[in-house]
């Protein structure tokens, strides 16, 4: 009942004319040559989803409640019209034991044998397949690609490298069992948002069998940073610099190991050999600079990459598609890139396999 009431409240507020929403949101916010999206500014003013998902102060004693709140916020913000998508609960092999996962099969999926292994955001501490459910439905519907969302282990109960090892193991398991999920092993991609984007990028870099494509939305790529976007957008835009530090402390209690930079992929000496990457950043995100630095480094190392900055958006924008048209457009851009990227790989496979068949 509470979910329904809150959804109606959001529809009422966001159904107002732009001028009325501007009055509620306050004057335009200009920073670093960018203008904050009106609807996300209004969301921040309402003190709603931004704080319940990635903002505020992390108190380990109430961590379970914060995780429940993240799931609840996702349910409130879910877009209408995607509830009927076919889903199936499955179990994958993780590094420390079985992992729960959820498979999303869009109506158009039979046309494609592609599959996206998806890792949710939440700073490696919060988040779940429930919290990422609306986003996975939207990506699957727009891309026409099956999406398999993975419930990897979270810190502080399981600090680094548990989440990363689960990501690598679950990707390998999905690839080995791809036909069970209606997919071609050569068309299995990885993706995620925020912390999950970090996991997807490292899987793309470290997996013994290379993913077909990597989709990374507003990734965390380094740790223990200061200055730059972490300072400029460190307060007032949902995800705060202080909260980031707390998340990093829980995930990497001893910092990034000197002999293992996988926890901070930006520090890797060699990124060559990675599959094609789609990487997006948000203009008002404390993580913006490190995401864009990684995009530049990938180019230097010869990795095919499409990099996008969405200047008016904030961290976590893919969770706010029901209230912000700009956030929805940015999320659909990622889904479209996934569809195009896997289509190119599929076309190449058909040519190669056709040649092989003719030769035999």
120 tagged catalytic: no
Say yes or no to pLDDT of 55 above 60: no
Residues 215 and 278: beta-carbon distance below 8 Å: yes
Please determine, for residue 297, whether its predicted confidence score (pLDDT) is greater than 60.
Answer: yes
Cα 112 to Cα 51, 87, 146, 168, 176, distances in angstroms:
38, 17, 8, 24, 18
Q: Which of 52, 194, 268, 319 is catalytic?
A: 194
Q: Judge if the upstream peptide bond of residue 161 is cis by omega within 30 degrees of 0.
A: yes
Least Cα distance to 214 among 125, 117, 308 occurs for 117
Domain that holds residue 104: 2-359
pLDDT at 16 over 60: yes
314-352 pLDDT, tens digit each: 999 999 999 999 999 999 999 999 999 999 999 999 888
CATH number at residue 283: 3.40.50.1820
Residue 276 clears pLDDT 50, i.e. is over it: yes
Q: Please, what is the average pLDDT of the chain?
A: 91
Sequence-distant (≥ 6) Cβ neighbours of residue 55 within 8 angstroms: 238, 239, 240, 243
Give the residue with greater pLDDT, 82 vs 132. 132
Catalytic residue among 71, 285, 289, 324: 285
* pLDDT single digits (tens) 118-175: 999 999 999 999 999 999 999 999 999 999 999 999 999 999 999 999 999 999 999 9
**Which pLDDT score is estimated for 2?**
67
Helix residue ranges per DSSP H, 129-253: 133-143, 162-176, 195-206, 228-232, 241-251
Cα–Cα distance between 45 and 50 in angstroms, integer? 10
Residue 315 bears catalytic tag: yes
Catalytic residue status for 194: yes
**Tokens coding 219:** 């990734």
Count of domains for the chain: 1
The model's pLDDT over 196-232, given as tens digits with 9 standing for 90+, comes to 999 999 999 999 899 999 999 999 999 989 999 999 9
Annotated catalytic residue, options 120, 173, 184, 315: 315
């Amino acid at each position: 009942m509470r979910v329904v009431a809150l959804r109606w409240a959001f529809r009422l507020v966001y159904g107002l004319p732009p001028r009325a929403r501007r009055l509620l949101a306050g004057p335009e916010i200009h920073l670093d040559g960018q203008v904050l999206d009106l609807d996300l500014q209004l969301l921040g003013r309402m003190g709603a989803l931004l704080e319940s998902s990635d903002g505020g102060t992390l108190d380990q004693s109430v961590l379970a409640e914060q995780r429940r709140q993240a799931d609840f916020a996702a349910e409130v913000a879910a877009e209408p019209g995607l509830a009927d998508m076919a889903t199936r609960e499955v179990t994958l092999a993780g590094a420390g034991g079985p992992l729960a996962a959820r498979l999303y099969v869009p109506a158009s999926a039979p046309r494609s044998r592609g599959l996206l292994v998806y890792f949710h955001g939440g700073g490696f501490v919060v988040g779940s397949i429930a919290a990422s459910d609306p986003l996975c439905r939207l990506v699957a519907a727009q891309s026409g690609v099956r999406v398999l969302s993975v419930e990897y282990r979270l810190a502080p109960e399981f600090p680094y490298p548990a989440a990363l090892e689960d990501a690598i193991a679950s990707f390998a398991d999905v690839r080995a069992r791809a036909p069970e999920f209606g997919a071609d092993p050569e068309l299995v991609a990885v993706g995620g948002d925020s912390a999950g984007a970090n996991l997807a990028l490292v899987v793309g870099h470290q997996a013994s069998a290379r993913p077909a494509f990597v989709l990374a939305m507003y990734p965390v790529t380094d740790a223990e940073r200061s200055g730059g976007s972490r300072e400029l957008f460190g307060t007032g835009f949902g995800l705060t610099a202080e909260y980031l530090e707390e998340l990093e402390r829980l995930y990497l209690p001893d910092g990034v190991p000197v002999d293992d930079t996988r926890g901070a992929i930006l520090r890797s000496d060699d990124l060559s050999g990675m599959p094609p990457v789609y990487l997006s950043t948000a203009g008002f995100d404390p993580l913006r600079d490190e995401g864009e630095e990684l995009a530049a480094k990938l180019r230097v190392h010869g990795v095919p990459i499409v990099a996008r900055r969405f200047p008016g958006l904030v961290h976590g924008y893919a969770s706010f598609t029901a209230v912000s048209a700009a956030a929805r457009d940015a999320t659909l851009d990622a889904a479209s890139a996934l569809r195009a990227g896997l289509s190119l790989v599929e076309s190449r496979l058909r040519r190669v396999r056709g040649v092989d068949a003719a030769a035999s």
